[in-house]
Amino acid sequence: KNLHNLWLELSEGETSLVDSSPPLRTVNVVTVRILGKGNLVLVESRQELSDGSFRDRFRPLSEKMKPHETTEEAVARAVKEELGSSRVVRIVPGSYRKKLEERNSASYPGLPARYVLHSVDAWVEGLPEEDFVTEEKEEYEDVDGTRGLEKAVSVRKHYWEWVCSDSLCS
């Protein structure tokens, strides 16, 4: 990601910066561990970016939360944006976990980050049983007259795989 991406995240309220030296980026992230048949979970293996490059991920569905968005709202939006269409999503009762992590930002090297991670397990109806690819619509459709939008790097395709959640896959 580049400085244009950071500007867009700040203007959308997805990221805030603490006035310190160096600045601290704070992000609320929802992570959805989507459960499948036979102890399988869905992971995003990689992403194809707008500049033609690929980014390895191998992690569950995750999305930056918007200001004042509940975990449930963020889960529904993440499923819609990254897996396509409005699918029926059922969050596993009692699966919510909140964790705080501080580390250097992978997206913005050199910028320390505080991640507030909101994670849930969920079932999502209508997903393919085999690996699949989804295309994402424009990440930031009209932010402040699209200043910087054309220079920001965005995700074009998501590559999804079903993997064993533990050693007991059937």
* pLDDT tier for residue 158 given thresholds of 50, 70 and 90: very high
Q: Are 64 and 9 in contact (CB under 8 A)?
A: yes
Q: How far apart are CA 1 and CA 159, in angstroms?
A: 19
What CATH superfamily is the domain 3-163?
Nucleoside Triphosphate Pyrophosphohydrolase (3.90.79.10)
Query: Lowest-pLDDT range, 10-14, 46-50, 59-63?
Result: 10-14
Q: What is the mean pLDDT of residues 41-55?
A: 94
Q: Is the pLDDT of residue 169 over 80?
A: no
Q: What is the pLDDT of residues 75-130, one digit of tens each?
A: 999 999 999 877 899 999 999 999 999 998 888 888 999 999 999 999 999 999 99
Average pLDDT, the chain: 89
Q: What is the mean pLDDT of residues 27-50?
A: 95
Q: How far apart are CA 108 and CA 113, in angstroms?
A: 9
Query: What pLDDT shows up at residue 64?
Result: 95
Q: Is the pLDDT of residue 69 over 80?
A: yes
Q: How far apart are CA 57 and CA 63, in angstroms?
A: 13
CA-to-CA separations, 168 to 38, 67, 162, 164, in angstroms, rounded = 8, 39, 14, 8
Query: What pLDDT shows up at residue 168?
Result: 61
Q: Is the pLDDT of residue 63 over 80?
A: yes
Residue 100's nearest CA partner among 80, 125, 119, 72 is 119
146 or 151, which is more confident?
A: 151
Instruction: Give the β-pairing of 89-91 and 61-64.
Output: unpaired
Q: How far apart are CA 25 and CA 148, in angstroms?
A: 20
Alpha helices in the chain (DSSP H): 3-12, 71-83
Instruction: Write out the two tokens for 25.
Output: 């980026």
The domain spans of the chain are: 3-163
Of the CA atoms within 13 Å of residue 50, those in its CB half-sphere come to 15
Query: What pLDDT shows up at residue 21?
Result: 87
